[in-house]
Amino acid sequence: MQALVLDEPGCLSLREIQVPDPRPGEVLIRVQAATTCGTDLKAYLRGHPQIPMPGVFGHEYSGIVAAIGEGAPFEVGDAVMGVHSAPCRSCFWCRRGQENLCESIMSTKVLGSYAEYLLIPAHIARANLFHKPAELTFEIASLLEPLSCVAQGIELLNLRSDDRVLIIGPGSIGLMFVAALRLLGIESVTLAGRNRARLDVGERLGAMPSLLSDISGNFDLVIECTGNVEVWERSVDYSRRGGTVMLFGGCPSGTTASFDTKRLHYDQITLVSPFHFGTNAVRTARVWLIDHRMDLSPLISGTRSLDEGESTFEDLRQGRGLKYVFKP
Ligand SMILES: [Zn+2]
Ligand SMILES: [Zn+2]
């Protein structure tokens, strides 16, 4: 089968690799849609600690079951959607209800959705692979993973419907936060950024678009979705006394941020910075995706074939488009 391989930053090649054979509990999927992700772009630009190189690439997917190992809870021909990781459910963190921090969640994940087939390990097939309803397209179903990250973030908050929320960064994650918060009944969602086309998408999803330079403080909740250290630091300026700042975008490793201690303490600003997701967040995201009131189609910028790997990531590098779908 053909698979996109990330050889080194900036270099993707299409290789012929063996179709894996499912062992007990495993599920082999014929990939129907595999969406690009900000994490993949980071890996393409500068490498990523969680994405080995050279290695098969892509982690968002939906597809049709092509073969199963003994005892796997699916049948050949089932349309499925899933995520690329699952917690062990036995380590310290899993037992403490912090599955997103499971000590083996990253080492047992699966990569390689930019390929004709993807083998889902047994523990992921058991916990985080689902039947895809017919009314949900494969393209949108492939968004389950990033939406699970958003659901994990929202799990950490005590949202109120009258909260005034500022989202900084109109990339696909910022836009999914807009869609999720609007679905949850939050009326006042401001989306700040520079990219006009992306702000327009935010407006379609129900946010008030704005340039960050036009914004003054006093939000109940600020959600930072840029992964830029300076923006992390400035996020606190937009929070009201007693507000919450969610630092969602991961910054390059080795970077540090500093904050005004007086503001954090005397204004009692809560900082949260969620990582990845547990099974509960995946279930929440699945319910949202199926809800007809949530329409994430404006996030899909186009369809690409596997031999357009490099040009697709070059487009993303230039800020053209939000998410592309590979249809292998
Ligand atoms: Zn992703
Ligand atoms: Zn664990």
Burial class of residue 41, CB neighbours in 10 A (0-12, 13-18, 19+): middle
Helix (H) or strand (E) holding 94: helix 92-95
Q: Phi first, then psi: give them for residue 79, nearest 5 degrees.
A: -80, 130
pLDDT at 123: 97
Q: Phi first, then psi: give them for residue 225, nearest 5 degrees.
A: -130, 40
- Nearest-ligand number for the alpha carbon of 106: 2
pLDDT at 49: 86
195: its two tokens: 């990219």
Tell me, yes or no, if the two domains 2-147+276-326 and 157-272 fold the same way.
no
C-alpha distances (whole Å) from 188 to each of 73, 88, 177, 182 are 42, 38, 13, 8
- Nearest-ligand number for the alpha carbon of 84: 1
Q: Confidence band (pLDDT; 50, 70, 90) for 261?
A: very high
Evaluate if residue 252 carries a pLDDT over 90: no
CA 86 / ligand 1 centre spacing (Å)? 14
CA 266 / ligand 1 centre spacing (Å)? 37
CA 46 / ligand 2 centre spacing (Å)? 29
pLDDT above 90 coverage of the chain, percent: 96
**Closest alpha carbon to 81 in 26, 29, 22, 116:** 29
CA 277 / ligand 2 centre spacing (Å)? 12
pLDDT above 70 coverage of the chain, percent: 100
Q: Per residue in 77-129, pLDDT tens?
A: 999 999 999 999 999 999 999 999 999 999 999 999 999 999 999 999 999 99
- Nearest-ligand number for the alpha carbon of 104: 2
State the chain's mean pLDDT as an integer: 96
- Nearest-ligand number for the alpha carbon of 92: 2
Task: Locate the DSSP E strands across the chain.
Answer: 2-8, 11-16, 27-35, 55-56, 61-68, 79-82, 117-120, 129-131, 164-168, 188-192, 208-210, 219-224, 239-247, 270-272, 300-304, 323-326
CA 226 / ligand 1 centre spacing (Å)? 15
Q: Which of 39-53, 122-136, 253-267 has the lowest mean pLDDT?
A: 39-53
What CA–CA distance (Å, rounded) separates 186 from 264?
A: 25
CA 37 / ligand 1 centre spacing (Å)? 5
2-147+276-326 is a CATH 2.130.10.10 domain = no
Evaluate if residue 277 carries a pLDDT over 90: yes
CA 157 / ligand 2 centre spacing (Å)? 23
CA 153 / ligand 2 centre spacing (Å)? 19
**Domain 157-272: assigned CATH number:** 3.40.50.720
Q: Per residue in 62-74, pLDDT tens?
A: 999 999 999 999 9
pLDDT at 127: 97
Q: Per residue in 13-47, pLDDT tens?
A: 999 999 999 999 999 999 999 999 999 999 999 99
CA 83 / ligand 2 centre spacing (Å)? 16
- Nearest-ligand number for the alpha carbon of 144: 1
Sign of CA dihedral 85, 88, 93, 94: positive
- Nearest-ligand number for the alpha carbon of 102: 2
Q: Which of 40-49, 57-66, 198-207 has the lowest mean pLDDT?
A: 40-49
Phi-psi region of 276 (alpha: psi -120 to 50; beta: other; left: phi over 0): left
Degrees, nearest 5: CA angle 146-271-263: 145
Please, which residues bridge with residue 247 across strands? 224
pLDDT at 214: 93
- Nearest-ligand number for the alpha carbon of 285: 1
Evaluate if residue 253 carries a pLDDT over 90: no
Please, which residues bridge with residue 300 across strands? 323
Q: Per residue in 206-241, pLDDT tens?
A: 999 999 889 988 999 999 999 999 999 999 999 999
Residue labelled with tokens 């909260």 = 163
CA 148 / ligand 1 centre spacing (Å)? 9
What CA–CA distance (Å, rounded) separates 150 from 171?
A: 13
Q: Confidence band (pLDDT; 50, 70, 90) for 322?
A: very high
Q: Region 176-202: what's the mean pLDDT?
A: 96
pLDDT at 216: 87
- Nearest-ligand number for the alpha carbon of 95: 2
Residue spans of the domains in the chain: they are: 2-147+276-326, 157-272
pTM: 0.96
